[in-house]
Amino acid sequence: MDKSWMHADRRSKAYELGVEGFLNFASENLGNTTEIRCPCVKCGNIRLFGVGIIREHLYFNGIDQSYKIWTWHGEPWEWTTNASRNVEEDEQSRFSYVSEELGMDDNDFANIGSDPYEFANVIGDGDEPLYPGCSKYTKLSALVKLYNLKAKHGISDVCFTELLILQGEFLPKGNTLPSSMYEAKKTLSALEMSYEKIHACPNNCILYRKEYENATNCPTCGISRWKEGFLKEGVAAKVVWYFSSIPRFKRMFQSHKTAKSLTWHAARKSVDGYMSHPADSPS
């Protein structure tokens, strides 16, 4: 479906026809006209409205131009077909680059990075050059480097927004750098991986979970769960950060190259009948 209207002037006939085509497309695919995710700039596919209100929002606020694959409105997810053809060669290096460079504070983002559609949209959108003709940085790589500086030096959100605006003025016309902290967070939140904070005994006896979830003292050594002499009550003396492996495996399997490496041991077959690797053993 032609989506060039998304970049057209909101007063133009092309934009008007595009809005009507989008609303008809969404209504037919979703089967209702009263609860549809609004893709305008302010709602960002989070709030649900009827067709009439969404039409008004698209005219007054404009459509989110980064929403290129309409997965919330019935369009098939094309990450494993079209998008992967363009990025398969360098996706392994880009994922490792992001994990090394992205110094995220645990309070900066909600844990909403588990949606594969959102992740695919962000990675696809991040492949755009920082500005027309730029070959050194993409939108995503530049944003990751800037955010890493923010986290490293404790730059406030207000200061970071002003820095983005200033950088945008320095860069050539047509650059893709976000113009606010809100837009930057919205882009990077899809890269966030979920984790769980679990209170632990300072002497490493137990974790305060399951039957010990509500305990205030360690049943083994008797030491208090909480920090003593702390102004704020209920501050844990020790906290373990648990990073669940399942969401990370799901993320790794989204890359054809990484998925092939993860399943190599199962697909491997000995060619000479001898065991040259533990994967050749039946056990």
Residues 179 and 154 in one domain: yes
> pLDDT value at position 22?
93
| Residue 172 within a domain | yes
> pLDDT value at position 122?
58
- Write down which residue in 191, 225, 248 finishes a domain: 191
> pLDDT value at position 56?
92
| Residue 96 within a domain | yes
**8 Å CB contact between 205 and 220:** yes
> pLDDT value at position 115?
56
- The total of structural domains in the chain comes to 2
- Write down which residue in 191, 211, 238 finishes a domain: 191
Residues 28 and 120 in one domain: no
- Of the CA atoms within 13 Å of residue 97, those in its CB half-sphere come to 14
Rounded Cα–Cα distance for residues 168 and 178 (Å): 8
Residues 99 and 69 in one domain: no
Rounded Cα–Cα distance for residues 73 and 54 (Å): 13
> pLDDT value at position 16?
92
Q: Tokens in use for 100?
A: 């090394």
| Residue 183 within a domain | yes
| Residue 14 within a domain | yes
Sign of the dihedral defined by the CA atoms of residues 94, 43, 131, 103, in that order: negative
Rounded Cα–Cα distance for residues 101 and 151 (Å): 11
| Residue 106 within a domain | yes
Residues 58 and 109 in one domain: no
Rounded Cα–Cα distance for residues 14 and 20 (Å): 10
Residues 83 and 156 in one domain: yes
Residues 45 and 85 in one domain: no
> Domain range spanning residue 147?
79-191
Residues 105 and 52 in one domain: no
Which is nearest to 151 in space by CA: 191, 109, 103? Answer: 103
Residues 55 and 115 in one domain: no
| Residue 133 within a domain | yes
Q: Mean pLDDT per 10-residue run, the chain (283 residues)?
A: 86 92 90 86 85 92 85 68 41 42 41 52 66 84 85 85 88 86 76 81 92 91 85 78 83 78 76 75 72
Residues 116 and 183 in one domain: yes
Long-range contacts of 155-164 (CB under 8 A, 24+ apart): 157/181, 160/184
- Write down which residue in 191, 215, 238 finishes a domain: 191
Q: What is the dihedral of CA 160, 166, 168, 172, to 10 degrees?
A: -150
| Residue 233 within a domain | no
| Residue 274 within a domain | no
- Sequence-distant (6+) residues with CB within 8 A of 92 are 255, 257, 258
The Cα angle at residue 255 between residues 252 and 261, in degrees rounded to 5: 70
Residues 187 and 86 in one domain: yes
Residues 83 and 170 in one domain: yes
Residues 183 and 89 in one domain: yes
